[in-house]
Amino acid sequence: MKLFIYHTPELTPTDEVPECAIAVDVLRATTTMATVLAAGGEAVQVFSDLDQLLALSEKWPGEKRLRAGERGGSKVPGFDLGNSPLDCTPELVQGRRLFISTTNGTRALQKIQNAKIVLAAAFVNRAAVVQHLLEKQPETVWIVGSGWEGSFSLEDTACAGAIAHSVVQQSKLSQDELAGNDEVVSAIALYSQWQDNLLGLLHLASHGKRLLRLNCDQDLKYCSQTDILDVLPIQQEPGVLIGKK
């Protein structure tokens, strides 16, 4: 297995497709997706365009769908939900499909949707993602941070580092054998420095600060937890993820 980390979707190569690609948006899209699927959501369907989301979800039975729209950290008016994982209770999401569009996370998933295996990861479901990698042993793996509008996000690279760190610990591979690019080494170093204070790291992150200004303190706390959800969001068809438990 060779692992490559890209800090943003824009940095991924355009002339190749890996066997496995993993989108990361710790704050908050992939945390929300893992939460919905762990709580019994039927599937998550991602859109970069809000109008497309509305048009396609309109064809779905009303009682079987939830529409989530987020821009700039805030809920889009007229949508059922914004992008807070804390709103996604089992009572609300069970048996329903989440149609979701967010500023960066859903774009990252769309960018990697041609890979053979497509996963969504966050700190909350890191162990389930690592377990899948160890079982399937894909030849090439990309972990793609969602970033913020094309620029680096501290929390996504730290989570990519958490995945790589755990693969090194649990496999017979050394860091040198696993790393396909320099970003892997730096992401593992970032995670290693902050692993005992991930909430502190989220408070330092620029999007963390944006969410704090929007009074989302509890979201940061929730998103900073590691390995609390035993769920693997895996793409079933382009743009549609289901939860493997």
Residues forming contacts to ligand MLT in the complex (CB under 6 A) are: 25, 27-29, 70, 73, 83, 102-105, 146, 211
Whole-number minimum distance, CB 19 to ligand MLT, in Å? 25
Edge-to-edge strand ranges of the sheet holding 2-6: 2-6, 140-145, 20-24, 117-121, 232-237, 240-244, 43-46, 97-101, 65-71, 74-75
Assigned token pair, 61:
């039975």
Whole-number minimum distance, CB 148 to ligand MLT, in Å? 6
Q: Are 187 and 158 in contact (CB under 8 A)?
A: yes
Specify the residue, 105 or 161, whose C-beta has the smaller distance to ligand MLT.
105
Question: What is the spatial distance between Cα 13 and Cα 227, in angstroms, rounded to a whole number?
Answer: 30
Whole-number minimum distance, CB 2 to ligand MLT, in Å? 27
Q: At what angle do helices 154-170 and 206-213 cross, to 10 degrees?
A: 120
Whole-number minimum distance, CB 203 to ligand MLT, in Å? 14
Cis peptide before 28 (omega within 30 of 0): yes
Assigned token pair, 170:
């649990």
Whole-number minimum distance, CB 179 to ligand MLT, in Å? 27
Residue nearest to ligand MLT (CB): 102
